Amino acid sequence: MSTSTGLAKAVTALDVLVASGFALAGLLRPQAILPAGFAPTPAASVFAMYAAARTLPLAAFVLIAIFKNWRATLIVLGTLAGIIQFLDFFVGLAQHDAGKSIGPLVLALLQAAAVFVLYREPETRKI
């Protein structure tokens, strides 16, 4: 495995683990992810459950793909993770929260670079 492939795997793992952290924070402490001045409601808890239901399995499968060295699977899941981060950028904009905008945008750009590296890297085969 090349250094660039290892870095791409690390970026992808970071991407899904950060997203999982926010999903878990929403489940355990919803006020941590709500805009300033908003109080958690039962609807926020339901929304957090939906976020976790999508994010946690994605993280699990990405980590499996990394450890099993399933490059093609990682390219697909990394692309999905990057798209999700890019869309989260717009959620941050809608909330007028710079941290919730810049962070996902940076992760989306890093993830796009990671997928590009994985896609361009020649596949190594064991004989």
The DSSP code for 29 is -
List the domain range (segments joined by +) for residue 47: 3-120
pLDDT of residue 124: 53
- Structure tokens given for 78: 């990394």
Q: Is residue 71 one of the residues assigned to a domain?
A: yes
Q: Is residue 125 one of the residues assigned to a domain?
A: no
Residue pLDDT, tens place only, 39-64: 888 888 898 999 999 999 999 999 99
- Structure tokens given for 100: 């919730």
What residues contact residue 38 under an 8 Å CB cut-off, 6+ apart?
A: 31
What residues contact residue 55 under an 8 Å CB cut-off, 6+ apart?
A: 16, 19, 20, 22, 23, 84
pLDDT of residue 95: 85
Q: Is residue 18 one of the residues assigned to a domain?
A: yes
Residue pLDDT, tens place only, 95-127: 888 988 999 999 999 999 999 999 998 775 443
Q: Is residue 126 one of the residues assigned to a domain?
A: no
Number of domains in the chain: 1
Task: Please give the model's pTM, rounded to 2 decimal places.
Answer: 0.87
